[in-house]
Amino acid sequence: QVQLVESGGGLVQAGESLRLSCTTSGYIFSINAMGWYRQAPGKQRELVAEITSGGGTNYADSVKGRFTISRDNAKNTVYLQMNSLKPEDTAVYYCAAHGAFGSYWGQGTQVTVSS
């Protein structure tokens, strides 16, 4: 199994920044990709950014140029640096680990951006 613990959410004003962290434990050697997803009230969960084991990244169009996903292998941690936050970025953000085992999800962390 893979365990994921997210942190770093909070309440900020538009234009400010936040950094989310996702620390993994367990069978982390079996992870092929890590992703950050978000779900706003009344909306479906959507992919925000992902990073593969090879270091490749992919972003939702809505966050390109503002968000950056990265990882620290020594700390088994994936980060999501969020700059120039907008009220429409308000959501619960989830970290996920994907591999041959399927997918594991964190508990989510709330990000609220006020205008």
Residue 85 pLDDT exceeds 80: yes
DSSP 54: T
Using the predicted structure, report yes or no on whether residue 27 has a pLDDT greater than 80. Answer: no
**Measured distance CA(26)–CA(97) in Å, rounded:** 11
Question: For the residues 48-58, what does the mean pLDDT come to?
Answer: 95
* CA dist 1 → 34, 38, 49, 63, 115 (Å): 15, 23, 23, 30, 40
Confidence of residue 100 (pLDDT cuts 50, 70, 90): confident
**pLDDT greater than 80 at residue 46:** yes
Asked whether the predicted pLDDT for residue 25 surpasses 90, the reply is no
**Position with higher pLDDT, 100 vs 111:** 111
Say if residues 59 and 67 touch (Cβ distance below 8 Å): yes
Is residue 2's pLDDT more than 80? yes
Percent of the chain whose pLDDT exceeds 70: 100
Where is pLDDT greater, at 48 or 99?
48
